Chains A and B, each alone.
Chain A
Amino acid sequence: EIVLTQSPATLSLSPGERATLSCRASQSVSSYLAWYQQKPGQAPRLLIYDASNRATGIPARFNGSGSGTDFTLTISSLEPEDFAIYYCQQRYNWPPLTFGGGTKVEIK
C-alpha cells in the first residue's frame, strides 16, 4: 500500500499570502496524484488531478506540481474561501486508492 504523507499538518496564513502544501509518497506514483479541498460539513472537491491538471471550474490560483514521490499544491494568493483542509490522493498503484492525512490551512 502506498502511504502519502502531507506536511505541514497545519498552515497558518493570512489572506493574500501564498500557500505551499506538500505531499510525499512512500514510493513513486508517477504523476498519478490528485488534490482535494474539503470545508467543514461539506464533501471534498476535486482541485487537481494527475499532478498538475486543474479540474473544471478551479481557479488559476491553484497549481499542482511534482512527480515521482514529491508533490506540491500551491495557492498563489489565499482568498477567504480557501481556508480548508486539503488532501492528496494517489491512483498509481491500487487497490487500495490512498489519501494523505490532510493539511489544514487556517487563518492566521
Chain B
Amino acid sequence: DGGITQSPKYLFRKEGQNVTLSCEQNLNHDAMYWYRQDPGQGLRLIYYSQIVNDFQKGDIAEGYSVSREKKESFPLTVTSAQKNPTAFYLCASITNRGGNNEQFFGPGTRLTVL
C-alpha cells in the first residue's frame, strides 16, 4: 500500500547530539514537508521541498537541516543548535499535479532530548 513512513516512532538523544529523522513516501508525490508540533502550538513548518534537490525554509528552520536527493526521501536533521528539540515531528507530502493541496501525513516521530 502507498503511504508515508517515519522512523523511529520514539527517539531519545542526549543534549548536544545531532539526530536525523527519516521520512519516506511511495505515493510519487513531488512536494514534502516537515512540521514540528508542541502542546498548544499547532503545526509549525520547519522545511519544505517542492522538487528533488530543492528545498526552502519554513517558519522555524533554525537549528534544523534537510536534504532532498531522492523524490521518495526527505530526512530532517535536528542539530545541536536547536535549543528546544523535544517535540513531535510530522512529515507530510502532496502531489504537484493539480488537486486540492491535501497533505498526507506520516505517523510522526516523538523526539525526546535528555
Please indicate whether A and B come from the same complex rather than being unrelated chains: no
| Interface of B toward A, CB cutoff 8 Å | none
| Interface of A toward B, CB cutoff 8 Å | none
